[in-house]
Amino acid sequence: MSIIVDNDTRLVVSGLTGREGSFHGLRNRDYGTDLVAGVTPGKGGQDVDGVPVFDSIAEAVEVGANTSMIFVPARFAAAAVEEAIDAGVGTVIAITEGIPVLDMLGVYWKAKEAGVRLIGPNCPGVLSPGKANVGIIPAHFFEQGSIGVVSKSGTLTYQIGNELAQAGLGNSTIVGIGGDPIIGSDFIDVLELFEADEETELIVMVGEIGGDAEERAAEFIAESVSKPVIAYIAGFTAPPGKQMGHAGAIISGSSGTAEAKKEALEAKGVAVGRSPTEAAQLAVETLAARA
């Protein structure tokens, strides 16, 4: 089945006429994703390699778009997400890094109220191998399979995913939830989807310092997730008070440490790998034991 993106995804890319937007949008199309439109205000009527460009997302929805990818500069991105929500798409995937967090505060509640699934921002997107790729995840590393991956990181996910692939294991869906402090979908939101997905047998969760999303996920897993979950947490070596790349990756006072997240997860029976390699190994072993 897979989650969030699949064969029914009909994609509109905000920013398709830009350098990054066109590179990744067309890459998604070449992978097999149904790219129906691009949006750049003022460039309606143009096309990018045959893909029609409109002035607004609403026009793209009229020609069937149901999923919106936002590849627009940070200063305009929150407004673009809001436009997508207003236009009636069911899913918005915001790749853009650098959106002011107080903008995201408003956007988050708007999406929630409208019942729109928002992924990101500051995320690599969502890949369901063999079906659709929306974002910048390099799909050639991944095969279709039964391991769901949900991660705050990009390249760290590729590292773990690659190790799984080398062990012959594929993925149902890989979801990059993003590294910002306020994101549209947390671990819990995606774990819920994986739990309900027939194709997913085991879930790998990749977290990092900052906030308490992993701790809350641990509670949720104990209460509502029957499938095995393996975790990896990055940032044991990060000093407090310093932003480590991602806007959300910062330890405030004593909260948001990697140690606290690891303890919370282990207390609820989630195995936490000490390295990406070990996390992948644990997933391989757990799946083999169930076979």
Partner 1 sequence: MDLLEYQGKQLFAKHDLPVPEGRHAASVEEAVAAAEQVGFPCVVKAQVAIGKRGKAGGIKIAKDGSEAREHAEAILGMDIRGFTVHDLWIEQASQIASEYYASIVLDRSAKKLLAMLSRMGGMDVEEMAEKDPAALVRRHIEPSEGFGPEHAGQIAVDAGIDEDVQGQVAEVLMELREVALAEDATLIEVNPLIVTEDRRVVALDAKVTIDNNALFRHEDLAELRDPSAEDPQEQMAKERGLTYVKLGGNIGILGNGAGLCMSTLDVVAQAGGEPANFLDAGGGSKAEAIVAALEVITSDPNVDAVLFNIFGGITRCDEVARGIIEAFRRIEIEVPLVVRLDGTNSEEGLKLLADAGIANLTVEKTMLGAAEKVVELANA
Helix (H) or strand (E) segment spanning residue 143: none
d(CA 197, CA 201): 9
Q: Residue 25 interacts with partner 1 (CB under 8 A)? A: no
Interacting positions 181-200 with partner 1 (CB under 8 A): 181-182
Binding part of the chain for partner 1, among 37-45, 64-72, 100-108, 282-290 by CB under 8 A, reads: 100-108
Q: Residue 259 interacts with partner 1 (CB under 8 A)? A: no
Q: Residue 135 interacts with partner 1 (CB under 8 A)? A: no
Q: Is 24 a catalytic residue?
A: no
Q: Are 119 and 178 in contact (CB under 8 A)?
A: yes
Phi, psi of 233 (to 5 degrees): -120, 130
Q: DSSP alpha helices (H): ranges in the chain?
A: 19-31, 57-62, 74-87, 101-114, 155-166, 187-196, 213-224, 258-267, 276-290
Task: Provide the 3-class DSSP secondary structure of residue 195.
Answer: helix
Considering 29, 152, 246, 261, which one is annotated as catalytic? 246
Per-residue mark of binding to partner 1, 29-58 (x: CB under 8 A): ------------------------------
CB 24, min distance to partner 1, A: 8
Strand partners, 22: none
Using CB under 8 A, list all residues that contact partner 1. Answer: 74-75, 98-102, 105-106, 108-109, 124, 136-138, 141, 151-159, 162, 179, 181-182, 206, 208-209, 211-213, 216, 232, 234-239, 242-249, 258, 274-277
